[in-house]
Amino acid sequence: MKKKQNITQEFTMSAEQTLKAVRGSFIDFTRVVENPVGIAPALRFIEDGLLLIRHGKIEWFGEWEAGKQQIPAAVRVRDYRGKLVVPGFVDTHIHYPQSEMVGAYGEQLLDWLNKYTFPAERRYEDLEYAREMSAFFIKQLLRNGTTTALVFGSVHPQSVDALFEAASQINMRLIAGKVMMDRNAPEYLLDDPQRSYEESKALIARWHKKQRLLYAITPRFAPTSSPEQMAMAQRLREEYPDTWFQTHLSENKDEIAWVKALYPEHDGYLDVYHQYGLTGQRCVFAHCVHLEENEWDRLSETGSSIAFCPTSNLYLGSGLFNLPKAWHKKVKVGMGTDIGAGTTFNMLQTLNEAYKVGQLQGYPLSAYEAFYLATLGGARALGLDDLIGNLTSGKEADFVVLDPISTPLQQLRYDNSVTLFDKLFVMMTLGDDRAIYRTYVDGRVAYERA
Ligand code: GUN
Ligand code: ZN
């Protein structure tokens, strides 16, 4: 009898210990939408809410008053009233081996790659360096509220090992891949078709679907892959149809002309990827600034996604991404920081720049649309909206606690904001990493502002 009691006690104890309760104001979007007019109706704002988490998953989410009786006495409530809790940000395009070269002066894409990017990526041959930078990179994501990213490594497979090792330590939901490139770059950064196939294959075997990690087949872009290497990317995708695919597309006019010269038998830039079977669900194309009409249609028909990278597109002078056209063509879009051509890891600042890109085209991006793109929309673009992107019970517990008044100017402006829309909009206009108060990954605090 005594023994039985102990077991019951132990069970109750561990059940309590594994339960976490978070109180605060919450915003998320309850469903994926096909049209921006659907975003505001999908918004869920709970001013005094409760989030219950167990084993890294959201167990219950709703009004504090409706849920508080479920909290066992022994569970301490994390009280974030006065702050705003949102789903973790999703960065759909970023290069981890470019962290050390953000803000390189003066060049547009092709010269920028040769002058700054390739030499920076060379350093990732060294596993110890890659480990050091992986730790830095993951910390940067977290201090900016990003809990999931689709990441380019360097050509060196060990760069991806180092990144996955670091992400696995906090059980992060992360997708990454080794760059495949076998031409039009310095010799020291080239692989070859067979080697890129084998190295990618080995990385898939080691990491894909291990914990929450996923693999993306990653030819850098059409100019740096021979037709033979493209065929290897296709072979990988056919052998591992549940992996992801990421690359660049139609970022810069000189780049597009170059692709047309290198692949004259193809009907434009996207057609190169398409003919090698590299379009479809879980295929993410960064930039897409200068798409032709048939390319928009093909992205849509194949269910491919776009990473909208406003800070990068402005910084490299690439051009203005046409977001309303993507909605019109029903192409999935997520936000990308595109470090190191992008100038910030911070999603709020990325949304701020997205707003300006919209303004230059007569499309004043709403705060709701912006937060949708940074959370559930991004998750949808990555094909992960069944796992992350909002606070619905059963989803993975990745979320951010935002501080709406992290600077005196924000305080002033916040005091002069009336509506929820206003408050969110000011957050994305003035907010940066100081606005990130806590970042939770897998139900645990992974970053805490000092
Ligand atoms: N196109 C090919 N490689 C790159 C890269 O590293 N950054 C950007 N922005 N565009 C690319
Ligand atoms: Zn990029």
pLDDT-derived band of residue 279, with 50, 70 and 90 as boundaries?
A: very high
Single pTM value for the model: 0.96
Residue 194 has pLDDT above 70, yes or no: yes
**CA–centroid distance, residue 327 to ligand 2 (Å):** 22
- What pLDDT was estimated at residue 2? 43
Residue 198 has pLDDT above 70, yes or no: yes
* 337-391 per-position pLDDT tens digit: 999 999 999 999 999 999 999 999 999 999 999 999 999 999 999 999 999 999 9
- What pLDDT was estimated at residue 44? 98
- The CB of 121 under 6 Å from ligand 1? The reply is no
* 66-114 per-position pLDDT tens digit: 999 999 999 999 999 999 999 999 999 999 999 999 999 999 999 999 9
Work out the average pLDDT over 399-423: 96
Work out the average pLDDT over 183-204: 98
Q: What does pLDDT average to over the chain?
A: 96
Q: Which mutation among 107, 150, 221, 252 tests ligand 1's pocket best, with the greatest number of atoms within 8 A of CB?
A: 221
- What pLDDT was estimated at residue 367? 98
**CA–centroid distance, residue 149 to ligand 2 (Å):** 13
- The CB of 338 under 6 Å from ligand 1? The reply is yes
* 280-290 per-position pLDDT tens digit: 999 999 999 99
- What pLDDT was estimated at residue 121? 98
- What pLDDT was estimated at residue 17? 65
Residue 248 CA, closest ligand 1 atom number:
1
- The CB of 289 under 6 Å from ligand 1? The reply is no
**CA–centroid distance, residue 248 to ligand 1 (Å):** 7
Work out the average pLDDT over 251-267: 98
Residue 132 has pLDDT above 60, yes or no: yes
Q: Residues with Cβ < 8 Å from 406, sequence gap 6 or more?
A: 431, 434, 435, 437
Residue nearest to atom 3 of ligand 1 (CA): 220
- What pLDDT was estimated at residue 6? 53
* 312-341 per-position pLDDT tens digit: 999 999 999 999 999 999 999 999 999 999
Q: Which mutation among 93, 99, 113, 178 tests ligand 1's pocket best, with the greatest number of atoms within 8 A of CB?
A: 113
Residue 98 CA, closest ligand 1 atom number:
6
* 6-62 per-position pLDDT tens digit: 555 545 555 566 999 999 999 999 999 999 999 999 999 999 999 999 999 999 999
Residue 3 has pLDDT above 60, yes or no: no
- What pLDDT was estimated at residue 153? 98
Domains of the chain: 20-87+390-448 (2.30.40.10), 89-382 (3.20.20.140)
**CA–centroid distance, residue 51 to ligand 1 (Å):** 39
Residue 305 has pLDDT above 70, yes or no: yes
Residue nearest to atom 8 of ligand 1 (CA): 341
**CA–centroid distance, residue 109 to ligand 1 (Å):** 7
